[in-house]
Chain A
Amino acid sequence: MPVVQVPRDDQYVLNHTTRFLARDVGEVAEPFHLPVVDTHWDGASAEVSYRFNDVTFVHRDDQAREVGVVGTFGELHTPVPLRQVRFLGEPTGLWAVTVRVGKGQVHRYRFAVDGRSVLDPVNPQRQRCDNGREWSRFFTHGCAVPISFDRWELRLLDRLVTQVLPFQLAENRRFLDDFYHRLSRSERDRQFPLAFLMDESVGVVNFIDKLLAREERHNLDDYKTCLRLIDGVLRARFPGREPAELGRQAFMDLYDELAANAVPGWDTGQYGEPRYFLVLLRRHAMTGAFAHPKHGGNNGAAAWAYLAERFEFDWRSALEAPLGRNTDYRG
């Protein structure tokens, strides 16, 4: 498919990148902001626009004569050229291009600088292909493709998250069941491609998977270590059983032990403060359940719909159509 370029001006590029990049000392701040993934607006239709993001690639090179980007969002052998970004009519050394990419996607890319292929030196997200070649990576809003975790980790995490959220309660589970059943098959497939994760955790696990791939990479090791330790603890306690298949009580007990900072069988040499992991999980669960669905959780706005049904919470009137029903605000 040909790449659709979007006209975003130089001011936009400077606004969203230079405060992180420009400096005399220290490293680039908040490098996860690159490439910039933002709302798409086609100037006419909220429904059509909602299916896409604008992705702005930015590369800094004072010496380059031409810079392009190739990636799986377009044709792998045809670089999309970046333009020189100017300030006061002078080249800044920044190069940029904005392209339209569908939501819910993961892509890899490399820059082509005067014919040389280079990784994005700022974006910390990387991906190694089967042939060993390393690529830079980005994902768009509402992405449900696992990035940070393996399947067993996702399933275990799902069970842990449900301990924190209110959806394990009988009446709330009924709500969720009803909520999902009201959706048409195609709607369910579109919104919940990982349906096995979408029951009581309303997509929180997917939110965490994305957060740890980007903004909170610094917390990924905590998850990897603790999930491995929890898996070991539960396997030792329930020999021959798959931890993610254990009953609710096993996870309620585990929660209490984490809260007490004393988990029998936990190797504190590998991770000293199990309670710290629980606190981390609590923040991520709360945020993932109730944040805007573009961050990967709160699937189909299920958690907001739950608040609206149980309490009073007219979230739809403020939010962009077609997710909400506000037609002035475009997201």
Chain B
Amino acid sequence: MADETFDAVIIGSGAGGAPIAHALVRAGKRVLVLEKGPLFHAQHTSPDGLSDFKRDEEFATGAEKVLRVPGVANTGVSFYSSHVEPDLNDEPHVYREKDGRDLATIEGYTAQVVGGGTQLYGGVSLRFAPDDFRLCTVNQGRADLRDDPNGDVAREARDWPFGYDELEPWYCVAEDLVGINGTRDGQLKPASADHYQKPLEPNSISSHVAVGMDALGLRRYRTPLAVITEDHLPSGRTVPLDRESIKTAFVNRYGDPLGLKSNTWVSLLHPISTEPGFELRANCAVTHLSATDSRVTAVHYRDPLGRSRTVSGTVVVVACSAIESVRLLHLSAELDPAFGQRINGNDLLGRYFLTHCFGGASARVPGRHDKSRTLDSDWATDACAAPEFVRANNLWAGGAIYNNTSDSALPISMARTWAANDMDTMWKGYLYDLDMRGDGFDGYLNENFGRQLSVAFMANQVPLPTNRITLHPSVRDKWNRPVAHIDKGWHSHDVAVMTVLAEQCRRILAAGGDGVQVIGHGHVGNDVRRIANHVLGGARFGSDPRDSVLDPDCRAWRFDNLYVTDGSFMPTSGGANPTLTIQANAFRVGDLLTTRV
């Protein structure tokens, strides 16, 4: 028997969990949200008027820490993490390098805090394109795909169990309740309602991207960003008198002290926090689930001081980011073979782990712009997600392209990301460029500060059964549980997708006006380490229980009351940042659950 019971117990408070809590509490249900991380407040939600997030570059990537995890090949390396990422020594993610060595990485965490990854993300809130939901169908019979000699794409592509039209109303709900600014005109994604708030003036440096997109005939729109620019009725948030002051470079990788970035705490959970049916327990790490036959009967967690406690729910929702959700289910299976048989009888749990095909181009612009007044992105285009483009380039799927404005906007971030590829190579470029000193340093600032502009793409990764999350055989976390072990590689067609889209990004910048100097373009296709924070798949949903972990309602096939609603449900990763789709789907599931509890 569990210590307490609720209508729903939701594990994780980010994009996959918070919308369900919101829907159920609004329907009068009793909901407990368990969150491993702390409840870090925005100023307006805080009892003392202060936020736990700061406009301070040391919060995004702080002091050096040293990896001390035994049994991995990179023990002893330095790492630099955000204040809401775990100490890697307490809970490492271990991935297998191409040469077979195991390495711990800071990649692949969203954030351990109430609000999850939505606290740190750049807020890019694109919908997926209609074809992203039917990649099996649109690729049947095609023999023209680049670098796919064995027909892997047609074999592994999956349609979602429903199409764009079925999710569309939930996109509208999410856009309304979360609070997003942007423009609709020019998008490839039809919308039945426009809940966008008015975007702020773009940063002046972005005009080069607008010019480039126009020159190439790519329809553009203002990138939808989860930052409010007007008072937001659903969450009760208000904006500062000087709306231009909303733009600061403390966006991507920073929690927002003013709560204007629409993380799930300020947009969805805080507004229900005074309802009698809502309870949030932060600093509580769920260790495993236990079940009797097809019912999950107890959620076992450690309270803030590590004491073991249990709760039960009429339904249990797992939504603690794909890697950790899959790991939690594997851990539960390890303790109870019957649980394992139910959740992983078809050996699919953890398989088809996905991130995104990702890359872009960067340039130096002739003039200088104050990038300290910005949000994360100004312009986006769906031109390379259009079926005609995808076909013409012999690709299986396309993706969104948008410019970044907050990158390299602040002096320390510009230095620590100089020639760095990812979180693990932070600082390496700048530090070893030993000629950058004195006037060399001055020249570096003069050449780059306020002059760097980048354009990125986000595209579908081919799902592969060999890309998977398992439990590591020997490395353990601070609760003495096996940590996640990640196998991930790129299909040759992924590299083709990335090459084509990186070239498009390069062309946009090259056409961006006189004096724009493209300094690089490329992608992550030669790097298995790059897991990024877009962790998806591993518990995919589908219509066939032999081919999926979850049913179309995101319920585990052989359980009555177990749901998984973070990005792990996705059978394909979509041609855009995933958060809005995770939120829309979670609102959909939340609505279903109001009739089931």
**In whole angstroms, how far apart are the Cα atoms of A9 and B41 in the complex?**
12
CB distance B304 to A216 under 8 Å?
A: no
**In whole angstroms, how far apart are the Cα atoms of A291 and B410 in the complex?**
10
CB distance A279 to B431 under 8 Å?
A: yes
CB distance B412 to A19 under 8 Å?
A: no
From B185-193, B437-445, B500-508, B565-573, the one touching the partner chain is B437-445
**In whole angstroms, how far apart are the Cα atoms of A95 and B505 in the complex?**
55
B8 contacts chain A at the CB level, 8 A cutoff? no
With a cutoff of 8 Å between Cβ atoms, the chain A residues found around residue B49 in the complex are: 41, 43, 330
CB distance A307 to B50 under 8 Å?
A: no
> Within the complex, which residue of B50, B303, B445 is in contact with A166, where a contact is CB–CB below 8 Å?
B445
Q: Which A residue sits closest to B367, measured CB to CB?
A: A312
CB distance B372 to A318 under 8 Å?
A: yes
Q: Known pairs A215-B62, A314-B373. 4 more at Cβ < 8 A?
A: A41-B49, A218-B66, A219-B64, A290-B415
Q: Shortest beta-carbon distance, A167 to chain B, in Å?
A: 9
With a cutoff of 8 Å between Cβ atoms, the chain A residues found around residue B56 in the complex are: 291-292, 294
CB distance B248 to A92 under 8 Å?
A: no
**In whole angstroms, how far apart are the Cα atoms of A199 and B442 in the complex?**
17
Q: Shortest beta-carbon distance, A218 to chain B, in Å?
A: 6
With a cutoff of 8 Å between Cβ atoms, the chain B residues found around residue A328 in the complex are: 43, 240, 245, 258
A133 contacts chain B at the CB level, 8 A cutoff? no
Contacts A8-B48, A22-B305 known; A292 to B87 CB distance under 8 Å?
A: no
Please give the residue numbers on chain B whose beta carbons come within 8 Å of chain A beta carbons, in ascending order: 37-40, 43, 47-52, 54-58, 62-66, 86-87, 89-90, 112, 240, 245, 248-250, 257-258, 281-283, 302-306, 368-370, 372-373, 410-412, 415, 427, 430-432, 434, 437-439, 441-442, 445-446, 449-450, 476, 478-480
With a cutoff of 8 Å between Cβ atoms, the chain B residues found around residue A286 in the complex are: 411-412, 415, 430
> Within the complex, which residue of B282, B302, B411, B434 is in contact with A15, where a contact is CB–CB below 8 Å?
B282
Return the 10 tightest CB-CB contacts between A and B, nearest first: A15-B38, A215-B63, A318-B248, A22-B306, A312-B370, A29-B87, A166-B442, A23-B478, A18-B304, A290-B411
CB distance B87 to A311 under 8 Å?
A: no
A30 contacts chain B at the CB level, 8 A cutoff? yes
A226 contacts chain B at the CB level, 8 A cutoff? no
With a cutoff of 8 Å between Cβ atoms, the chain B residues found around residue A168 in the complex are: 438
With a cutoff of 8 Å between Cβ atoms, the chain A residues found around residue B257 in the complex are: 329-330
CB distance A22 to B57 under 8 Å?
A: no
Q: What are 6 A-B pairs with beta-carbon distances under 8 A?
A: A15-B40, A19-B112, A29-B87, A87-B304, A164-B437, A166-B442
Q: Which A residue sits closest to B279, measured CB to CB?
A: A88
Q: Shortest beta-carbon distance, A42 to chain B, in Å?
A: 9
CB distance B47 to A24 under 8 Å?
A: no
With a cutoff of 8 Å between Cβ atoms, the chain A residues found around residue B48 in the complex are: 6-9, 12, 41
For chain A, give the interface size range: 35 or more
Q: Which A residue sits closest to B86, measured CB to CB?
A: A19
> Within the complex, which residue of B50, B62, B90, B439 is in contact with A41, where a contact is CB–CB below 8 Å?
B50
A278 contacts chain B at the CB level, 8 A cutoff? yes
CB distance B305 to A21 under 8 Å?
A: yes
A331 contacts chain B at the CB level, 8 A cutoff? yes
CB distance B437 to A39 under 8 Å?
A: no
Q: Which A residue sits closest to B448, measured CB to CB?
A: A311
CB distance B305 to A164 under 8 Å?
A: no
Q: Shortest beta-carbon distance, A40 to chain B, in Å?
A: 8
CB distance B432 to A279 under 8 Å?
A: yes
Contacts A93-B305, A255-B437 known; A311 to B430 CB distance under 8 Å?
A: no
CB distance B52 to A15 under 8 Å?
A: yes
A38 contacts chain B at the CB level, 8 A cutoff? yes
CB distance A9 to B47 under 8 Å?
A: yes
CB distance B245 to A326 under 8 Å?
A: yes
A234 contacts chain B at the CB level, 8 A cutoff? no
> Within the complex, which residue of A24, A93, A169, A218 is in contact with B478, where a contact is CB–CB below 8 Å?
A24
Q: Which A residue sits closest to B46, measured CB to CB?
A: A12
Q: Shortest beta-carbon distance, A177 to chain B, in Å?
A: 17
**In whole angstroms, how far apart are the Cα atoms of A319 and B438 in the complex?**
28
CB distance A24 to B89 under 8 Å?
A: no
CB distance B55 to A313 under 8 Å?
A: no
Candidate in A29, A92, A211 with the most chain B CB atoms within 10 angstroms: A29
With a cutoff of 8 Å between Cβ atoms, the chain A residues found around residue B449 in the complex are: 307, 311, 313
Contacts A166-B442, A330-B43 known; A38 to B50 CB distance under 8 Å?
A: yes
With a cutoff of 8 Å between Cβ atoms, the chain B residues found around residue A23 in the complex are: 90, 306, 478-479
**In whole angstroms, how far apart are the Cα atoms of A279 and B430 in the complex?**
9
A172 contacts chain B at the CB level, 8 A cutoff? yes
**In whole angstroms, how far apart are the Cα atoms of A226 and B564 in the complex?**
53
- For A266-281 the 0/1 string (1 means CB < 8 A from B) is 0000000001001100
Please give the residue numbers on chain A whose beta carbons come within 8 Å of chain B beta carbons, in ascending order: 6-9, 11-12, 14-16, 18-26, 29-30, 38-39, 41, 43, 60, 87-88, 92-94, 163-166, 168-169, 172, 211, 215-216, 218-219, 252, 255, 259, 275, 278-279, 282-283, 286-287, 290-292, 294-295, 303-304, 307, 310-315, 317-320, 326, 328-331
Q: Which A residue sits closest to B80, measured CB to CB?
A: A283
CB distance A283 to B441 under 8 Å?
A: no
CB distance A26 to B38 under 8 Å?
A: no
Q: Shortest beta-carbon distance, A240 to chain B, in Å?
A: 28
**In whole angstroms, how far apart are the Cα atoms of A282 and B416 in the complex?**
11
CB distance B39 to A318 under 8 Å?
A: no
Q: Shortest beta-carbon distance, A18 to chain B, in Å?
A: 4
Contacts A278-B434, A303-B411, A318-B250 known; A19 to B57 CB distance under 8 Å?
A: no
With a cutoff of 8 Å between Cβ atoms, the chain B residues found around residue A279 in the complex are: 431-432
Q: Shortest beta-carbon distance, A143 to chain B, in Å?
A: 15
CB distance B434 to A87 under 8 Å?
A: no
Q: Shortest beta-carbon distance, A25 to chain B, in Å?
A: 5
Contacts A94-B305, A166-B445 known; A330 to B50 CB distance under 8 Å?
A: yes
With a cutoff of 8 Å between Cβ atoms, the chain A residues found around residue B372 in the complex are: 313-315, 317-318
Q: Which A residue sits closest to B62, measured CB to CB?
A: A215
**In whole angstroms, how far apart are the Cα atoms of A94 and B306 in the complex?**
12
CB distance B412 to A291 under 8 Å?
A: yes
Q: Shortest beta-carbon distance, A116 to chain B, in Å?
A: 22
CB distance B441 to A165 under 8 Å?
A: yes
**In whole angstroms, how far apart are the Cα atoms of A94 and B303 in the complex?**
13
Q: Which B residue sits closest to A171, measured CB to CB?
A: B442
CB distance A282 to B249 under 8 Å?
A: no
Q: Which B residue sits closest to A7, measured CB to CB?
A: B48
> Within the complex, which residue of A18, A172, A314 is in contact with B442, where a contact is CB–CB below 8 Å?
A172
Q: Shortest beta-carbon distance, A83 to chain B, in Å?
A: 15
With a cutoff of 8 Å between Cβ atoms, the chain A residues found around residue B480 in the complex are: 24-25
CB distance B412 to A313 under 8 Å?
A: no
> Within the complex, which residue of B249, B282, B431, B478 is in contact with A25, where a contact is CB–CB below 8 Å?
B478
Q: Which A residue sits closest to B87, measured CB to CB?
A: A29
Q: Shortest beta-carbon distance, B307 to chain A, in Å?
A: 8
Contacts A7-B48, A283-B431 known; A169 to B439 CB distance under 8 Å?
A: yes
CB distance B38 to A87 under 8 Å?
A: no
Q: Shortest beta-carbon distance, A48 to chain B, in Å?
A: 14
CB distance A14 to B437 under 8 Å?
A: no
With a cutoff of 8 Å between Cβ atoms, the chain B residues found around residue A307 in the complex are: 411, 445, 449
CB distance B412 to A216 under 8 Å?
A: no
> Within the complex, which residue of A19, A26, A88, A330 is in contact with B37, where a contact is CB–CB below 8 Å?
A19
> Within the complex, which residue of B87, B283, B369, B430 is in contact with A18, where a contact is CB–CB below 8 Å?
B283
CB distance A331 to B54 under 8 Å?
A: yes
Contacts A22-B305, A166-B442, A290-B411 known; A311 to B38 CB distance under 8 Å?
A: no
**In whole angstroms, how far apart are the Cα atoms of A154 and B58 in the complex?**
23
Q: Shortest beta-carbon distance, B366 to chain A, in Å?
A: 14
Contacts A14-B38, A317-B373 known; A26 to B90 CB distance under 8 Å?
A: yes
With a cutoff of 8 Å between Cβ atoms, the chain B residues found around residue A314 in the complex are: 370, 372-373
With a cutoff of 8 Å between Cβ atoms, the chain A residues found around residue B245 in the complex are: 317-318, 326, 328
With a cutoff of 8 Å between Cβ atoms, the chain A residues found around residue B112 in the complex are: 19
CB distance B412 to A287 under 8 Å?
A: yes
Q: Shortest beta-carbon distance, B557 to chain A, in Å?
A: 33
**In whole angstroms, how far apart are the Cα atoms of A255 and B89 in the complex?**
34
With a cutoff of 8 Å between Cβ atoms, the chain B residues found around residue A216 in the complex are: 63-64
**In whole angstroms, how far apart are the Cα atoms of A92 and B441 in the complex?**
51
Q: Which B residue sits closest to A304, measured CB to CB?
A: B411
